[in-house]
Amino acid sequence: MQLSKVTYALVAAGVVGGLATFYQQVDGLAVSPAHAAIQPAAVAPAVIPTAAANLPDFTALVDRVSPAVVNISVRNERKVALDADDDEDAQGDPMREFFKRFGGPTGPQMRPQPTQGMGSGFIVSNDGYIVTNAHVVDDASEVTVKLTDRREFTAKVVGSDKRTDIALIKIDAKDLPALDMSAKPEVKRGEWVIAIGSPFGFESSVSAGVVSGVHRALPNGQMVPFIQTDVAVNPGNSGGPLLNLRGEVVGINTAIISEGRPGNVGVGFAMPINVVRELLPQLRAGKITRGRIGVGIGPIPADAVDEFGLKDRNGAVVLNVAPGGAAAKAGIEPGDVVIAYNGKVIRNRDELVAMVTATRPGTTVPVRIVRDRQERNLNVTVEELDLDAETASQRACNDSGGAPGQPETTSGFGITIGNITPEIAQRLRLNRNTSGAVVLGVEQGGAAARAGLAEGDVIVRVGRENVANATEASREMGRVPSGGTAFLRVLRGGQETFVAVTKE
């Protein structure tokens, strides 16, 4: 599966190609209050180093936890086009031949074709609730769960969230072993972890490795910080647990980078179990709710820390604000830097996205920002995110057209700007009172192009100064020294956007 590129825009604080092939793809889950009956597996004894190599011995741990890991097989049907030459029943049919030759309203015949899929999962309650990946069970006509004692059950999908690729399924069984979901382990780079699952259908397989990194963002922009490991996980491991040496589940094996190969190359990703735990109650209830504050965000440019008045690159810069949204109502503006959310320091944009989406809609949270080198505190009432209805802002017009007025070239930025004429205002659908400088041309590969400026953008502010026309914009941009950064407030598609351009 090719990862899709996801735009961090108007999702929460901004949130989602083909850099790598991910055979599995997922997101988070959580434990339901109704799971009070969960029977966590007893903590495994300390892993004993072998005398020969001083490496951990996983045998006791695996014996204790593997009975709670299941193999999942699915059956579904997809419709495929059937050519008359391949269909014995269709051969000799004069009407079939007629439509084949001349076309017709019926189009090609379709027939269902059964397909098989596989994956892994793990039991989270002794009465049969099982966590897996959504893509393992979505659109399945039949889901079969096989336990390590060789018993098989037909499972029912209780809840599934394609946006996070997490699902909760249920089998009719009692007194089952369950993995420990109560702990909130702190995952550290370099610690040993093991994966149990069914790679390529080989049931209850064990692989081990170390945590390579934490708080990883995938190229598809999913809204959680993933755990990166060098554990050998492959197709079929999807949905299986990642465990530490205490037998605690630290994540769900989710994705691998394969570089076009059919297997693992030592870079795998797991969904943190803390995310899973928070999501499970909603899956069981059948509805997933996420928070949204209505901003697009981006990382802080490395050369803009001093300009913003920051001590380091921790935080996320607000690129645009949805009109009438939660952030706009709270007074957040493009160019603000969010450094804390609900009392927690923001290290990067991905953390802010995860925090906002995890906030219950209707909750009012304090947000700390930096604006004009000064810290400010604002209160934002989080809205509910509707990802299906969420769309990226569309640029109103890339072709300025009309009379360009007096174009001016901004030295070091690679753009040509001009005044807003009535013709340009009409083509860009600008308000009659809009003032600023319209971008008439962008030098390919130049500073402005690399920063994302495009023809039809209207520069309304440079740094802390509002600009009414091209002359004022050119003057303010000319004051930026070579190697410095110009912070621009840009009107694009009826919405203000923040753009930072480093002068060459």
pLDDT tens per residue across span 121-134: 999 999 999 999 88
Amino acid 342: pLDDT = 94
What's the token pair of residue 203? 């049931």
Report pLDDT for 24.
34
Same domain as 470, residue 437 = yes
Q: Token pair 């925090």 is at which residue?
A: 355
Quick check: 266 and 55 in contact, CB under 8 A? no
* 184 and 83 inside one domain: yes
- Residue 199 token pair: 């790679």
430 and 358 fall within a common domain: no
Domain span at residue 63 reads: 26-276
Report which residue type is found at 148.
Answer: T
Do residues 361 and 436 share a domain? no
In terms of domains, do 76 and 221 share one?
yes
Query: Does residue 136 sit in the same domain as residue 186?
Result: yes
- pLDDT score of 229: 94
* Three-state DSSP class for residue 75: strand
Domain end (from 229, 244, 276): 276
Answer yes or no: do 152 and 242 share one domain. Answer: yes
Task: Please state, in angstroms and as integers, the Cα–Cα distance from residue 97 to each residue in 79, 80, 81, following that order.
Answer: 21, 19, 15
Residues 6+ apart with CB under 8 A from 435: 420, 460, 467, 468, 469
Residues noted as catalytic: 135, 165, 238
Q: Residue 134 domain-assigned?
A: yes
pLDDT for res 80? 54
Which residues, 6+ apart, have CB-to-CB distance to 287 below 8 Å?
none
Q: What distance in Å separates the CA atoms of residue 175 and residue 219, rounded to the nearest whole number?
A: 41
Residues 412 and 494 in one domain: yes
- The per-residue b/e assignment along 393-404, b for 16 or more CB within 10 angstroms, e otherwise, is beebbeebebeb
Do 336 and 429 share a structural domain?
no
Tokens linked to 121: 């999962």
CA 465 to each of CA 226, 371, 434, 462: distance values in angstroms, whole numbers, following the listed order: 40, 13, 16, 5
Domain count across the chain = 3
CATH number at residue 192: 2.40.10.120
The pair phi, psi for residue 477, each rounded to 5°, is: -70, -30
Q: Are residues 163 and 306 in the same domain?
A: no
Which of the residues in the chain have pLDDT under 50?
1-42, 84-86, 88-90, 94-107, 391-405
